[in-house]
Amino acid sequence: MISKHIRLAFRQILRQKFSFAIAILGFAVGLAVVAHLISYSLYYLDYDRNVENKEEWYRLRYSQIHPELGEFSSASFFIPPAKMLLKDIPEVQDYIVYWPSVIALNLRCDGKPFQMEEKVYVSENFPRHYKMEIIYGDPDSLLNDRNGILISESFSRNFFGDVNPVGKKIYAGGNPQYFISGVFTDLDSNLHLRHDHYSLWYNEDEYRTDSEEDWYLTGHVRVKIPDKEDKQVVEHKLNEILDEYRSVIGQTGRLEVNLDPISKIHFITGLKDDAPTMSILNIYSILVLSFMFLLTAVSNFFIIIGLSWKKRGDEFYFRRALGAGRADIFGQLLGEYGLYFVISVLLGVILYTATMSIFRDICQVDVLSYSLFTLPHAFYGVIALLSLAVLSGVIMSLHHSKLILEQSARQIVQRDRGISILLVVQMIIGFIFIAVAVSVSLQYSNARNLDWCWDSQNTIQYEYLSINDTARQGYYDARILRQRIREIPGVQKESVSNFNLVSKSLDNQNGFHEVEIYLYDSEMDTPIASYLSSCTPDFFRIREIELLSGNIPDEATEAQAVVNRSFADKYLTNPLGSRLRMATDDDSNWYEVVAVVEDCWFFPPHHEMIPMIMILNPYVIKYYQISWQEGSKHNVLPALEELFTDAAGGGVFGYTSKDIELAQAEFYVQDRIYKDISLFMAIFVVIIAVMGVYAVSSVSIHAQMKDISIRKICGAEFSDLFRLYLKKYIYLYILAAIPGMYLAHNLISLYADRFAMQNKFALIAFPAAIIIMIPIVFIPLYLNILKAYKADPTRYLQAD
Amino acid sequence: MIELKNLSKIYCTDTIETTALNELNLHIKKGSFIAIKGPSGCGKTTLLNIMGLMDKPSKGEMVIVGKNTAHLSEKERNRLRRKTIGFLFQKFNLIASLSVFENVELPLLYEKVDSATRREKVMTILKQLGMEARKDHFPHQLSGGQQQRVSLARCVINDPELILADEPTGNLDSRNGEEVMQRLKDLHKSGRTIVMVTHDDKYASYAEQIIHLNDGMIM
């Protein structure tokens, strides 16, 4: 019997190819897209999944609460108390320390530069914390020696080929300094502290809790607290420790410790030195969108199959006349439904598999490691899908077997109402996706084309440590370096600063020092919080940052500073000639504001513009920005590499370089992914909505062919029929547009809230969605009515 | 009124050609009452559909109220049908979602008649047919005879010259069947041309002329 049902189901597919193509293909596409988006969301929701007993680990974070300046939270924690953790706080069972140093080193191994963008120091137990699988080296003594470096498999393969590199010496400034202590298999890409190399953090005995210098060191510190109840106890005890050492910590205001669960740390916003890896709101909105997407595909699937059964009313009538009962009809419908479902799921799996690498390229995360085939939850997913199939199949078959046999006028009205509701749902989803895609694209494009105040194309930034004026051995004098850069043919201009021009986070390591400043006032010194950095006086002219007022001297004295527009607007009524000093400097060390310059984004536009003070006489220079004439890139870059290799050759410090345009593009990776996903889904939604509206209106109109035929013999023209349905569809369209726009507005707000700089033009998304939805809804309707109008009315008037 | 010249209708499938009407020649004068009889599948309904401009012949010509229908566009056929022809069906063919009043009103609506005139005309005809009290009822609330009366009201509301009736008594009991035939007779008396398909000799006898159709040909 089942084989008969299946054979019949196949025949139905062949008879109604178009409708079934829409139903099955739409459902399959929906499943594939949703599977991609779920694996994408899981990738972020499951960050740091490989940590041993993940739920027992917390990151230490401290907040500095200042009565006048407000509260600042930092993801970095003081490293000196780390060693006290086990000794003084029994609730803490284990801890790890992680400290990345951004100072590039001049390292060589096997005669080649051994380039590490940053050197990462971790505590000895770090390999165990991340459950590293060791390929080479002694797992028990990987980081016992502070000169040992643990490298990843891919790093090892790139540098050493297939050779076991353990024991290889690494030279710093010509002297053997480090060695390879082990090789581990590549870590998952969704790890918070993922790197290709790790070195041992200082031996614990080497840093002292009574040393002010050691308290200056802050890094990522995690603690393991097996009992959740102890979390507050640990926070309390750590607060006591900070109170005890308050005098050597050197920060103002009250300090408060917070413990963040490891699974959530990469979503935490508002920390001054750790931007979230991904916005949790983005993840949730993507999950909501994918649910809606699936809803569209599933509703199309249900409607089309249900209506195809309706079309076969005669067949079921005859079957009933030949003795079939409701149970027989139910069995037949269930068998057919099962086949359609299985085909859709198989097709969905094939589509999903075939598009995995495409989706990975779009979202640029390793979704392959979160594929439906590798996830531990996949089994439950299959069970859920099967349950859905059985449940929906039983409900659909029961409902339709009853409808087919006992259809009453009331049920016809209910069916029409059901179709209208599904049409409205499809339209709502269409409105949402189109408005979101348009708005997100506009917001992205606006943020991407931000006025950077200076030419970001054709510019590279080198990071190399040098000491101005008095270069010590191992440093290359900045003035000589600048002179040599200018002599390279094709170089158009060069500038230097002590802050990173493309900084992902505004922290000390990028040259942005958030400090407490006193403004000189005749009455009293006013404390404020500001970012402070330094650059040479020619920096603004060379980088084309507009001078708003004042003069910047060619040769600055030590006591001169420039402030940006935000600083001047916020704190200074008459900025020129104003005086300020750092809270930590003595009372006589004042800087005079000599100029105000335009605000300039040296950081992602998600962050609001910062008030900034730039001292004009930097002692340390780290960043060299070099621009070349159009077409000279290929000559300039090799010459620069040669120059910096030479500059780094004599000392321990190395260099790194960053293409400014590419580095700026990195600011927007999350936004671009979200935009691409929104567009990607909007395109599919539009396709599915067009097919869905066509199919639904087709079947809906088909069900009313008799009425249409009667109207036709009563003299109705095409325009009369179109007007008749148009009225209903306009009503449904308006009914869908209102909640659609409301929901779209909420989703758009979630996205736009990420940016400090809001795009007013994004509002255009709403009329755009309304206009785009018009052909999606009304062209299928027009085509179906035209088809109905051209149909032979006698077919429907004589049959009953 | 209607002239058919060598009119044929052939239905083609992939493998079979079925001739529903074969080289038919017929002249129906204005004001006549014709009954078409014949066995099932002889082409009666096909002929009626072609006369009603709902179907097109495969070969031959049809002239209706002086117009050769071969060269008419879909729009012109529509207009001609709306102004000239009224239909009466065995299954009544009322729109379930419309009330009695709205069903009868339909042809006037498509004729763009203003609302007041529509109301007046519909109420007049419903009164004539004794359906005035049922004007707000829906088809499923009416008996078969009442439904056919509504269908008849809709058929004549536009005052058509030609009435095509496809077994109008087929779904009615004899009392209601007689009543419908009486109405058709009255319409004929008032000058309308009536072409009726029927199986029943009793009802065929109301016609002035009976045409026997067999295998698509007039016998």
Specify the 3-state DSSP secondary structure of A603: coil
- Of A488-502, A674-688, A702-716, where does the model show the most confidence? A488-502
Query: DSSP characters for B137-190?
Result: --GGGS-HHHHHHHHHHHHHTT--SEEEEESTTTTS-HHHHHHHHHHHHHHHHT
Query: Chain B interface residues facing chain A, Cβ-Cβ under 8 Å?
Result: 45, 49, 52, 54-55, 75, 78-79, 81-83, 87, 89-91, 93-97, 106-107, 109-111, 140, 154, 158, 166
Per the domain annotation, does B114 fall within a domain? yes
Which DSSP symbol is given to A24?
I
Per the domain annotation, does B198 fall within a domain? yes
Per the domain annotation, does B136 fall within a domain? yes
| Burial annotation B40-59 (CB, 10 A radius, 16+ → b, else e) | eebbbbbbbbbbbbbbebbe
pLDDT over 50 (residue A291)? yes
How much is the pLDDT for A400?
A: 77
Question: Looking at CA atoms only, how far is residue B81 from chain A in angstroms?
Answer: 7
Which DSSP symbol is given to A477?
-
Cα→Cα distances A458→A483, A489, A641, B8, B139, Å: 20, 14, 16, 81, 79
Residue B134 structural domain: 31-54+73-218
Residue type for position A649 = G
Question: Looking at CA atoms only, how far is residue A692 from chain B in angstroms?
Answer: 25
Cα→Cα distances A369→A674, A757, A770, Å: 20, 35, 39
Q: CA nearest A193: which of A139, A140, A266?
A: A266
Contact assignment for A707 to B95 by CB distance below 8 Å: yes
Structure tokens at B111: 């004729």
Q: CA nearest A27: which of A314, A349, A462, A401?
A: A349
Per the domain annotation, does B123 fall within a domain? yes
Nearest residue of A to residue B91, measured between CA atoms: A798
Cα separation of A85 and A102, whole Å? 27
Considering the entire predicted model, what is its pTM? Answer: 0.71
Q: Contact at 8 Å (CB) between B182 and B148?
A: no
Cα separation of A348 and A362, whole Å? 19
Cα separation of A450 and A600, whole Å? 10
Per the domain annotation, does B133 fall within a domain? yes
Interface of A with B in 571-590 (CB under 8 A): none
Q: Which residue, chain included where needed, has tokens 């639904």? A: A696
Residue A36 CB partners (closer than 8 Å, separation 6+): A352, A355, A356, A359, A367
| A408 has a chain B CB within 8 A of its CB | no
Per the domain annotation, does B16 fall within a domain? no
Confidence of residue A153 (pLDDT cuts 50, 70, 90): very high
Per the domain annotation, does B67 fall within a domain? no
Residues A9-48 have pLDDT tens digits of: 777 788 777 778 878 888 898 888 888 888 888 888 888 8
**Number of Cβ within a 10 Å radius of residue A320:** 15
Per the domain annotation, does B7 fall within a domain? no
Distance of CA A275 to the CA centre of its chain: 11
Residues A371-387 have pLDDT tens digits of: 777 766 667 777 877 78
**Number of Cβ within a 10 Å radius of residue B175:** 8
B99: domain CATH number is: 3.40.50.300
Q: CA nearest B7: which of B64, B73, B65, B89?
A: B64
Cα separation of A776 and A272, whole Å? 46
Dihedral angle computed from the Cα positions of residues A454, A459, A463 and A468, in that order, rounded to the nearest 10 degrees = -60
Of the listed ranges A178-187, A231-240, A427-436, A523-532, the one predicted with least confidence? A523-532
Residues A719-730 have pLDDT tens digits of: 888 988 888 889
Q: Contact at 8 Å (CB) between A310 and A418?
A: no
Q: CA nearest A581: which of A560, A552, A555, A611?
A: A560
Number of domains forming the structure of chain B: 1
Chain A residues with CB-CB distance to B106 below 8 A: 710-711, 714-716
Cα→Cα distances B23→B8, B61, B66, Å: 5, 10, 20
Tell me the residue ranges of DSSP E strands in A75-163: 77-78, 94-101, 107-109, 112-113, 119-122, 134-136, 148-152
- What ipTM did this prediction achieve? 0.81
Residues A764-794 have pLDDT tens digits of: 888 889 999 999 889 988 998 998 888 888 7
Residue A709 CB partners (closer than 8 Å, separation 6+): A791, A793, A794, A795, A796, A797, B93
